[in-house]
Amino acid sequence: MRLLAKILALGLLPMASAFAASQSTVLDVKNMTCSLCEVTVKKALQKVPGVEDAKVDYDHKTATVQFDPAKADTAALVKATTDAGYPSTPRR
């Protein structure tokens, strides 16, 4: 039984470190006037290297982004939305 536990722990350890490396941030996004804007913002964020997931909420005018901080940072996310016509700021 102990051997099985060790094998499982070793198998899950790399997976846990991969999840621990990701970071999440919420951006307040301006200029979203329709649900199509939501799609445009999401696509812009997904093009940033290191972005793992982006959820954009038109009703709340926010984007919640999961990313690898070794490949992307908040400034790159803000630049992506701004360049797409939707200026954003990190929520504090």
Q: What residue spans define the domains of the chain?
A: 22-90
Positive or negative torsion for Cα 48, 51, 53, 56:
negative
Tokens of 13: 């350890």
Q: Residue 4 — very low, low, confident or very high, per pLDDT cuts 50/70/90? A: very low
Give me the mean pLDDT over the 73-80 stretch.
98
What pLDDT is recorded for position 78?
A: 99
pTM, to two decimals: 0.77
What pLDDT is recorded for position 53?
A: 98
SS percent in the chain: helix, strand, coil, step 5: 45, 25, 30
**Domain 22-90 top-level CATH class:** alpha beta
Task: Indicate whether 57 pLDDT > 60.
Answer: yes
CA atoms of 37 and 7, how far apart (whole Å): 47
Could you say which DSSP state residue 48 is in?
S
Task: Indicate whether 23 pLDDT > 70.
Answer: yes
